[in-house]
Chain A
C-alpha cells in the first residue's frame, strides 16, 4: 500500500526510550539496560508496520511501551495527535479501548478457569459497555467473525487447540472495536498449516474493520507477507526503516543485509552467498560505543567505533542509521 502523503498518522512514535534497572553487583552502582533507545516511526490508518529483529533487540518492549503496558522512560507517542504518555491513567483508560494487543502465547493469555464467552465479555464489563444481552450478542458476533460457532461461547480454553486459542485472542482484541492493534509475534507459537490461517484472518479483519497493525515478528518471511513497511531493530535501536518491497530488494544496513541472507530459502537448488555474522548480539547491559552494530559489522571502521551514526533518509521513505550512507 502506498502511503498517502497528506494523511495524518494514527500512531506516531517519537524518540521512544525504555530502560530497565537490572540487578547489580554493587549497592552504589546501578546497571541500566537500555531496551529501547530512540525509536521513532509512524503508522497510518489501515496500514501494517512490521518490526523485525532478533531476541533481545527490544521489539516486544517497543510494542508494550507504546500501549503503556510498561511505563516509558522517555519519548512521546501520539494517537491521533494526542500524546498518550502525558495522560493521566483515568483519561488514558478511555483511549485504551482503541488500542489493543494480541499476544504471542495463546496458552498463557487466556484464563483457564473462565469460559470463553466470559473472557471475551470481560473488557466490556470493565468499560461498562452495554447490557448483558448486548454483550453476549457482540461476543457471538465476534466468534463468528473469527470462524467459530455459537456453541464455542460456553467452552473452556483447554478445549481449544493452539490455533483456535489464537483466534480467541484475536476476537478478544477486537471486542472494543479498536483502531490500532499491536500483534506481538502472534503466529510464532503455531504450526505452519495453522499460521497461514491466522495470517489470512488478520488480513481479512484489517480490510473489513479498517484496522492498523503494529506487527512484531522474528520470522522475516511472515513479516514480509503482512507488513506494508518494516523497521529493523538491533540492540534497542531501529537501524533501518523502509517500505517492505524496497527493504527486501535493497537492504542498506549491513545488519539487515546479513539478516536477510541468513533466512533459509525453501528451494534446495537455490545456493546463494550468505553473510554469516561473527559472534553474538552483545549484552544490552554493555551496549557498544559508537554504532551498536560495529562489533559484528564486516564494514566497521574507526569512525563506527567512536561516533554514533545518525538516521539518514536515503530516498523518500527509506531511512538508515549507518556511517556508510551519511556522506
Chain B
C-alpha cells in the first residue's frame, strides 16, 4: 500500500444472499483515499456506492453478506478484522454521516448524551470533560448557543440542525476518515450550502480524508478533489475533478453530464437522454454493463467485459472504445 494512502480498496466484491439467490452489489471496486482530500463517489440508485461505503465499516449483516478483496487501512485489512477491533475503529478513526439524520439519531436521548457516549467509549473521557468537548464540537459545526442545544432532543431541532449534530457526532473523536453518505440530499439548497461549508472548514482544521457519496454532480464539482464514478456495481471511471468535467471518458459519465439541466444551459434545446434504465442487479448484462444503454456499443462491448484501464496516472476508465469516443467528441465539439 502506498504510504500516503489513508485507505485503499482493492478488488472489493460484496454479495448478498437474497430470496432470489446471490446478488452481487459491488464487483471489482478498487480505489484509494489520501489524507486531507475529498473523494467523491458518484452514481445513480443501485450503483453500489452506499454498499461500498458501508463495507468499509462492515455494517452489513454478516450472516447474509460475502466480502472478497481487501480494504486496507493502517496496514490492516478491515474485512478480516474481528468485530472487537472494528468497534474501536467505527465512530472513532473512521466515522460516517448518514443521509437521514432523523432516523440515525436516537430520539430518546439528548444530542449531548449521544455525543458524550461516543467520547466516553472511545476516548475514555470523564463525563464533565466529554460534555465540554460535546459543546465544543457542536459549536464547530455552527450550531448557535451549543451550551443550551446540548440538552435538546433530536425532535426539537430542524433538519439542517440535525444534520449538523450528525456531523458533530461523526467528528467528535477526530476521525482520520469521514464517510458522508448523501449528507445533503434530504436538505434544501440554502441549508446544503451551509452544511457543505461546515464540512470544508472542518477538513481544513483537521486534515481528515472525506469520502463524499452523492448522486449530484454539482455537489461533486463544489467539494471533491478526485472522483470515482460507479455504474451497476462497478467503478467505471476514476479521475480528478477537473478532468471529470472537462474530459470525461466513459460514455455514461459523458451522458450524465450532458443530461443535467444546468443554470446556464440553453433552455430551448432538448435535454440529452441516456436511453433505457439501469438493469436489475439480478440480470447483470454480460460484457460491458452499460452496453445496453450506450450509443457507441459494438458487438465486442456486448460480449466482453472491459477492465478499468489506466489512461494517465490520474485517469482510469472501463470502456473498450474511449479513445474513438473522445476523438469523435473532440470533432463534434469543434463543429459547434
Q: Which residues of A contact B (CB under 8 A)?
A: 54-55, 161-164, 191-197, 199-200, 203, 218, 220-222, 224-225, 244-245, 248, 258-270, 274, 276-277, 279-281
Residues from chain A with a CB closer than 8 A to the CB of B256 are 192-193
User: For residues 17 through 50 of chain B, which have their beta carbon under 8 Å from a beta carbon of chain A?
Assistant: 44-45
Write the nearest CB–CB distance from B211 to chain A, whole angstroms.
Answer: 18
B199 contacts chain A at the CB level, 8 A cutoff: no
B325 contacts chain A at the CB level, 8 A cutoff: no
B263 contacts chain A at the CB level, 8 A cutoff: yes
B245 contacts chain A at the CB level, 8 A cutoff: yes
Bound: A292/B192 CA distance, A = 21
Q: Is A200 in contact with B270, judged by CB distance below 8 angstroms?
A: yes
Bound: A161/B161 CA distance, A = 34
| Chain A interface, >50% SS class | helix
Q: Is B190 in contact with A54, judged by CB distance below 8 angstroms?
A: yes
Bound: A241/B302 CA distance, A = 51
Q: Is A280 in contact with B267, judged by CB distance below 8 angstroms?
A: no
User: For residues 196 through 242 of chain B, which have their beta carbon under 8 Å from a beta carbon of chain A?
Assistant: 196-197, 215-222, 241-242
A-contact 0/1 string along B246-278, CB 8 Å cutoff: 000000000111011111010100111110011
Contacts A244-B267, A264-B221, A266-B218 known; A277 to B44 CB distance under 8 Å?
no
Bound: A245/B265 CA distance, A = 11
Bound: A221/B266 CA distance, A = 11
Q: Which of B189, B215, B245 contacts A266 (CB 8 A)?
A: B245
Q: Is B190 in contact with A191, judged by CB distance below 8 angstroms?
A: no
Contacts A196-B271, A197-B273, A280-B160 known; A266 to B262 CB distance under 8 Å?
yes
Bound: A281/B192 CA distance, A = 13
Sampled A-B contacts (27; CB under 8 Å): A54-B190, A55-B188, A162-B45, A191-B278, A192-B44, A192-B217, A193-B255, A196-B260, A196-B261, A199-B261, A218-B188, A220-B263, A221-B260, A222-B261, A224-B263, A225-B265, A258-B190, A259-B189, A259-B190, A262-B193, A264-B196, A266-B220, A268-B222, A268-B245, A274-B193, A276-B190, A280-B191
A-B pairs, top 6 by smallest CB distance, nearest first, are: A264-B218, A54-B188, A196-B259, A225-B261, A191-B44, A196-B271
Bound: A262/B219 CA distance, A = 11
B194 contacts chain A at the CB level, 8 A cutoff: yes
If A263-B189, A265-B218 are given as contacts, then 9 extra A-B residue pairs at C-beta distance below 8 Å, sorted by A number, are A161-B278, A200-B273, A218-B188, A262-B193, A264-B193, A264-B216, A265-B221, A276-B193, A280-B191
B85 contacts chain A at the CB level, 8 A cutoff: no
Residues from chain B with a CB closer than 8 A to the CB of A161 are 277-278
Contacts A259-B189, A259-B190, A277-B190 known; A224 to B257 CB distance under 8 Å?
no
Q: Which residue of the partner chain B has the closest CB to A269?
A: B242
B158 contacts chain A at the CB level, 8 A cutoff: yes
Q: Is A266 in contact with B194, judged by CB distance below 8 angstroms?
A: no
Write the nearest CB–CB distance from A296 to chain B, whole angstroms.
Answer: 9
Bound: A266/B193 CA distance, A = 14
Q: Which residue of the partner chain A has the closest CB to B222?
A: A264
Write the nearest CB–CB distance from A194 to chain B, whole angstroms.
Answer: 6
Q: Which residue of the partner chain B has the closest CB to A197?
A: B273
Residues from chain A with a CB closer than 8 A to the CB of B144 are 279
Q: Is B277 in contact with A200, judged by CB distance below 8 angstroms?
A: no
Q: Which of B189, B267, B271, B277 contacts A262 (CB 8 A)?
A: B189
Bound: A54/B189 CA distance, A = 8
Q: Which of A197, A221, A258, A265 contacts B222 (CB 8 A)?
A: A265
Bound: A260/B222 CA distance, A = 15
Q: Is A264 in contact with B219, judged by CB distance below 8 angstroms?
A: yes
Q: Is A192 in contact with B215, judged by CB distance below 8 angstroms?
A: yes
Bound: A276/B190 CA distance, A = 7
Bound: A265/B274 CA distance, A = 21
Write the nearest CB–CB distance from A167 to chain B, whole angstroms.
Answer: 11
